Structure 1
Amino acid sequence: MNKKKGFALATSVTLISSAFLAACSGGDDTTTDTGSNGSGSEGTPDEAQVLNLLEGSDIPSLNPTLATDSVSFNVLNNVMEGLYRMDENDDPTPGMAEDVDISEDGLTYTFKIREGATWSNGEPVTANDFEYGWKEVLNPDNGSQYAYVMSVIEGAEAYNTGEGERDAVGVTAVDEQTLEVKLTAPADYFLGLTSFGVFMPKLESFDQEQGENLGTSVETTIYNGPFKLESWEREQGWKMVKNEEYWDAEAVKLEEINFRVVKEVQTGVNLYENGDVDRTGLTSELVAQFQDSEDFSTVVEPTLFYLQFNSAVEALDNQNIRNAIDRAYDKAAISETLLANGSIPANYLVPKDFVTGPDGNDFRDINGDIGGYNVEEAQQLWEAGLEELGTDTVELEFLNYDSEVAKQIGEFIKGELEKNLEGMTVTIKQQPFNNKLELESAGDFEMSFAGWGPDYQDPMTFVDLFVTDGPYNRGKWSNEEFDALIESAKSSTDAEQRWADLAAAEKIVLEESAISPVYQRGSARLTKPYVKDIVEHAFGADYSYKWASIEGKE
């Protein structure tokens, strides 16, 4: 994302891709979007199978061990393939694995690797490529920020934290075609998780040959998915072409996909109207202009944008100050006026309409909304916090993305906080996506605007972000009760108790304002009617182009 992920998620314009999340986090959804229009038909198109799209940032990394953002994970999802791949209904469908046998207790998965599956250099894809690739994510020497997502695998956490051995990890290549995976607890989401970027295979010989350069250029990347990169110009764009070595190449209709990096929404719209690109995202002022067009559509996604606070800053280590900030700005105005693209204000961590529990109800029904816009309450909390700090002023630097919409959101929040919280001064620091991720990873920020998309369909993909010393707990908030609830949920075999633990953990995050949720992302976009069957996912990577095509283009 980091869907995730992080996942490059942005502020909600998505130049129709995902540059606002950090993995499935971290992209900047204030860019342009490349989503699906959901239509399709049978038959082989006669038109040139070339799709032209926009992206809001460059690709940070195509090394599955190191990728953390949604831009990287979107590309990985289309140039590589895991054991399984998510289909148009977000159900796992066989990929590099032909099938799987799951033990009765749900703890052992035995995958049969597809015969005839090859890398783009002609070498066969084997079970060892998965054992090696996954263990490289867990290798503590590699510093993978996404290693924690493998904690459901036996021995994974111990190896990653230096307390266990590589050979004790429950991932074993029994032979070239058989991969055995042992879990610590049953996980219904595990098959889907194997489609996610960090679970991609790695060809050991190629990985060792490339070293630190792996995934930094066309020449240092190898592919086993529907497409492969033909060109990649930093900060300009990249081109994918059909991978003729892919096992299911007959199902791939597109011959070429061109991505152009564009940060300004109006530029994307101009390119769309000129016929240079086939999809673009819209900001609020453009929604009214195009909402009656047959090319217009909106969608609400299970992606959350929020303010994250660095507890190393004295003021932000104060719960009253954090709670005051959460209640001092109008989230509805951001969603409904600044964005106006289907986004909805959020006073929660786990998004609405994302996942249902053992009782069949939406997870969101348990805690409802916690916190949110209330100026009077914000001012009371603010005064209490200032008194505890022994000061009457607070100055904060606000780290933000450098996209157009992110700038508007940042300026709005700054204005609200300075207006409603006497003595507050906010200075905005806008940074390109990659720079922002680096600053956050290093803890070099005070307050920042962040986003997270789900890596798999379970509340845990959001809630465990904030465990003590977690790789995406960049504000270093810590709560022992919260940590204990997450540990209990991760080891529980009682579905109802697990759900209750996750709900209690979410409530602690929100009541203490470990973060301040801003909105659940929606996106408004224009899509040419001849673009068919781009699959848009609710979790993991945002888009699959394997089944997409161009049909009916004049």
Structure 2
Amino acid sequence: MGRKIRIQALMILMAFVLILSGCNFNSSESSSEGSGDKEGDTKSAGQVLNISATADIPTLDSTKAHDGVAFTVLNNVNEGLYRQDENHQPIEALVTEHTENEDQTVHTFKLRDSKWSNGDPVTAQDFEYAWKRVMKDASPYNFMFVTASIKNAEAIMNGEKDAAELGVKAVDEQTLEVTLESANPLLQSLLTFPTFLPQNQKFVEEQGDQYALEAENILFNGPFKLVEWTHDQGWKYEKNADYWDAEAVKLDTINAYVVKDPATGVNLYETNKVDRIDLSSESVDQFKNDPNFDTILEPSMIFLRFNHTHPVLGNKNIRQAINMAIDKESLTDVILKDGSTALNGVVPKGFFQSPEGKDYRELNGDFNTGTVEEAQKIWEAGLKETGASDVAVSINISDSEDHKKVAEYLQAQLEDNLPGFKLEIKAVPFAQRLEIEKAIDYDLSLSSWGPDYSDPMTYLDMWVKGGSANRMDYHNPKLDELVTQARTETDLSKRYEMLLNIEKILLEEDAAIVPLYQDGTSILMREKIKDLIVHPTGASHSYKWASIEE
């Protein structure tokens, strides 16, 4: 059996090498042989970084992007008012001066001189156009403008006002004025998020429905330019010589390869085709003593969505029983083995503290835990309430190895522990999974959520009625009301109590979803890679300060 696996892995690797050749990404540049570099001379070391990605980019339209892959690319090829620094704090990007009025509701931003990749200047009008386009087109992340308290954003989302009335105005080419509904201490952090990036109106309209679907159909004003994009295979960044802070950018080239099979990733790493990979659980034991091995606890959660209109899954007892019937500790410790930890709440542990310094997860505790026997009693009650004798449903997952592994574990757990339960696994490409979720055309969906900004609200306002991140037709008016109140509450302790209660409504009162685990990532990254920044919120990676040192 071991020999058969090795042969299959070799065949996969050979096929993938052919793909890399077809992409023309010059992967041979990653070789360090014969470099002859002087110690400390990073520029002569060959500033080429080769990385893997688990999925293709669905779109690079910042007004439509709603996934981690696109956010990371956008963060490295574009520039907004602010970006995250090496310590994940907002720093001025295109902003040279930021002033506000006395009650902190009118913010004025002066822009530095910078260029798009076609030579056009980046102007305040580019921000006004892009932000109003987000609201006009009901983009997936338009709720970020409500979170930022931008004037009229919520009324526009509710269809009560037109997108043209959003509180953003280009005073002149280099002056942007943003008006808020109320003071918001999170504003600068929120403005680092890709949804707040600018767009060149003339170029966007010239491209029409092809905008941002290919490398040549998008403009760049960030540290790098995307010069190649071969769908489902990979993409290539090159340093943007016209970037306003080009002197800070050390890498010349970044090659990103789509690698869905972890075994292929390992082979590519061992043959020096890539410099950083995420490891699957099968590889952790093999590499855990490697000096390049590391484990990162992420602030993201993996969870099950329910279609709340389903005749059986719409029942709270059924949802609660499904939650309790899953041994989450065995999932993380035996199946995944990548540093992930069981999660019984929406907000992960270790990242978000109250004004008094207490961890959110510690304050709210665990929800919907219990024995299999307790789960079975609740299950029987749910079947009785719905009039069902058995339940046959399917689970929507991405076609990645980790998703397949988790889905197979859930299938075994639920079919073993809940009498009459049958689960069919439906694996589709990542982008298609998202579309299926948006259409609520599923029974169960294995989903993930990473924070957009450093506050528990990033996990909690997902569930408001009609929110683009809801994607399961869930609604509780009490939750919506608490979210609205918390957005404008200036007493931080009182606000935090509201944030705790929002999670209680979602999980204690409604058992609306099944949190499974807090993500952990086991990686191999070559020691020569320096200052590659992994952010806990928003776009996950910044390559602006990264370098290769041999």
Give the TM-score, by structure 1 length.
0.90
Any conservation in 2 of the 1:321–1:386 contact (CA below 8 Å)? yes
Q: How far apart are the structure 2 equivalents of 1:494 and 1:515?
A: 29
Question: Residues 174 and 489 of structure 1: is their aligned pair in 2 closer, same or farther, counting only changes over 3 Å?
Answer: same
Q: Which runs of 4+ in 1 moved over 4 A?
A: 41-44
Q: In the TM superposition, what is the alpha-carbon distance from 1:167 to its structure 2 partner?
A: 4.0
Corresponding residue for residue 148 of structure 1: 143
Q: In the TM superposition, what is the alpha-carbon distance from 1:513 to its structure 2 partner?
A: 1.4
Q: Does 1:340 align with 2:340?
A: no
Any conservation in 2 of the 1:185–1:492 contact (CA below 8 Å)? no
Structure 1 unaligned runs (5+)?
1-40
Corresponding residue for residue 313 of structure 1: 310
Q: Does 1:481 align with 2:478?
A: yes
Q: In the TM superposition, what is the alpha-carbon distance from 1:543 to its structure 2 partner?
A: 0.2
Q: In the TM superposition, what is the alpha-carbon distance from 1:161 to its structure 2 partner?
A: 3.1
Corresponding residue for residue 359 of structure 1: 356
Corresponding residue for residue 401 of structure 1: 398
Corresponding residue for residue 65 of structure 1: 63
Q: How far apart are the structure 2 equivalents of 1:227 and 1:87?
A: 16
Q: In the TM superposition, what is the alpha-carbon distance from 1:168 to its structure 2 partner?
A: 2.7
Secondary structure (helix, strand or coil) at the match of 1:316 reads coil
Q: How far apart are the structure 1 equivalents of 2:357 and 2:365?
A: 16
Q: Does 1:236 align with 2:233?
A: yes
Corresponding residue for residue 221 of structure 1: 218
| 1:59-138 map, 5 Å | 59-114=57-112, 116-138=113-135
Q: How far apart are the structure 1 equivalents of 2:129 and 2:463?
A: 29
Which residue identity lines up with residue 345 of structure 1 in the other structure? A
Q: How far apart are the structure 1 equivalents of 2:103 and 2:330?
A: 49
Structure 2 unaligned runs (5+)?
1-38
- Per-residue Cα deviation, 1:145-192 (whole angstroms, up to 9, x for no partner): 111111120111222333113343211111111111122222222112
Which residue identity lines up with residue 548 of structure 1 in the other structure? A
Secondary structure (helix, strand or coil) at the match of 2:76 reads helix
More helix by share: 2
Q: In the TM superposition, what is the alpha-carbon distance from 1:42 to its structure 2 partner?
A: 7.7
Q: Does 1:56 align with 2:54?
A: yes
Larger radius of gyration: 2
Which residue identity lines up with residue 61 of structure 2 in the other structure? N
Question: Residues 165 and 401 of structure 1: is their aligned pair in 2 closer, same or farther, counting only changes over 3 Å?
Answer: closer
Q: How far apart are the structure 1 equivalents of 2:270 and 2:280?
A: 15
Which residue identity lines up with residue 225 of structure 1 in the other structure? G
Which residue identity lines up with residue 523 of structure 1 in the other structure? T
Q: How far apart are the structure 2 equivalents of 1:416 and 1:476?
A: 26
Which residue identity lines up with residue 319 of structure 1 in the other structure? K
Any conservation in 2 of the 1:331–1:373 contact (CA below 8 Å)? no
Corresponding residue for residue 417 of structure 2: 420
Corresponding residue for residue 257 of structure 2: 260
Any conservation in 1 of the 2:64–2:139 contact (CA below 8 Å)? yes
Any conservation in 2 of the 1:305–1:518 contact (CA below 8 Å)? yes
Q: How far apart are the structure 2 equivalents of 1:43 and 1:173?
A: 44
Question: Residues 104 and 299 of structure 1: is their aligned pair in 2 closer, same or farther, counting only changes over 3 Å?
Answer: farther
Instruction: Give the counterpart of 2:366 among 360, 365, 369.
Output: 369
Query: Which range is displaced more, 151-160 or 528-537?
Result: 151-160
Q: In the TM superposition, what is the alpha-carbon distance from 1:102 to its structure 2 partner?
A: 3.3
Q: In the TM superposition, what is the alpha-carbon distance from 1:357 to its structure 2 partner?
A: 2.0
Instruction: Give the counterpart of 2:499 among 499, 502, 510.
Output: 502
Corresponding residue for residue 270 of structure 2: 273
Instruction: Give the counterpart of 1:527 among 518, 522, 525.
Output: 525
Q: How far apart are the structure 2 equivalents of 1:479 and 1:192?
A: 29
Q: Give aligned-pair identity as a percent.
A: 46
Q: In the TM superposition, what is the alpha-carbon distance from 1:43 to its structure 2 partner?
A: 6.5
Q: Does 1:301 align with 2:321?
A: no
Which residue identity lines up with residue 312 of structure 2 in the other structure? A
Secondary structure (helix, strand or coil) at the match of 2:465 reads coil
Q: How far apart are the structure 2 equivalents of 1:292 and 1:325?
A: 37
Q: In the TM superposition, what is the alpha-carbon distance from 1:344 to its structure 2 partner?
A: 0.5
Give the TM-score, by structure 2 length.
0.91
Corresponding residue for residue 32 of structure 2: none
Q: How many residues align?
A: 509
Any conservation in 2 of the 1:331–1:345 contact (CA below 8 Å)? yes
Query: Which range is displaced more, 155-164 or 503-512?
Result: 155-164
Q: How far apart are the structure 2 equivalents of 1:104 and 1:527?
A: 48
Instruction: Give the counterpart of 1:441 among 427, 438, 450.
Output: 438
Q: In the TM superposition, what is the alpha-carbon distance from 1:373 to its structure 2 partner?
A: 5.0
Which residue identity lines up with residue 83 of structure 2 in the other structure? R
Q: In the TM superposition, what is the alpha-carbon distance from 1:107 to its structure 2 partner?
A: 2.1
Instruction: Give the counterpart of 1:322 among 319, 323, 335.
Output: 319
- Per-residue Cα deviation, 1:481-512 (whole angstroms, up to 9, x for no partner): 11111111122222222211111011111112
Which residue identity lines up with residue 298 of structure 2 in the other structure? E
Question: Residues 42 and 478 of structure 1: is their aligned pair in 2 closer, same or farther, counting only changes over 3 Å?
Answer: farther
Q: How far apart are the structure 2 equivalents of 1:43 and 1:113?
A: 34
Secondary structure (helix, strand or coil) at the match of 1:82 reads coil
Question: Residues 256 and 146 of structure 1: is their aligned pair in 2 closer, same or farther, counting only changes over 3 Å?
Answer: same
Corresponding residue for residue 24 of structure 2: none
Q: How far apart are the structure 2 equivalents of 1:291 and 1:102?
A: 51
Which residue identity lines up with residue 71 of structure 1 in the other structure? V
Instruction: Give the counterpart of 1:459 among 433, 456, 459.
Output: 456
Q: How far apart are the structure 2 equivalents of 1:53 and 1:166?
A: 39
Any conservation in 1 of the 2:41–2:549 contact (CA below 8 Å)? no
Q: In the TM superposition, what is the alpha-carbon distance from 1:524 to its structure 2 partner?
A: 0.3
Secondary structure (helix, strand or coil) at the match of 2:215 reads coil
Any conservation in 2 of the 1:50–1:256 contact (CA below 8 Å)? yes
Q: How far apart are the structure 2 equivalents of 1:188 and 1:360?
A: 18
Which residue identity lines up with residue 453 of structure 2 in the other structure? Y
- Per-residue Cα deviation, 1:93-114 (whole angstroms, up to 9, x for no partner): 1111123123343322211111
Corresponding residue for residue 548 of structure 1: 546
Instruction: Give the counterpart of 1:158 among 150, 155, 158.
Output: 155
Any conservation in 2 of the 1:48–1:550 contact (CA below 8 Å)? yes
Q: How far apart are the structure 2 equivalents of 1:68 and 1:462?
A: 15
Any conservation in 2 of the 1:326–1:373 contact (CA below 8 Å)? no
Corresponding residue for residue 292 of structure 1: 289
Q: Which has the higher contact order (CA 8 A, sep 6+)?
A: 1
Secondary structure (helix, strand or coil) at the match of 1:285 reads helix
| 1:171-182 map, 5 Å | 171-182=168-179
Q: How far apart are the structure 2 equivalents of 1:323 and 1:503?
A: 20
Q: How far apart are the structure 1 equivalents of 2:465 and 2:217?
A: 35
- Per-residue Cα deviation, 1:422-473 (whole angstroms, up to 9, x for no partner): 0111111111101111111111101010000011111111101111121111
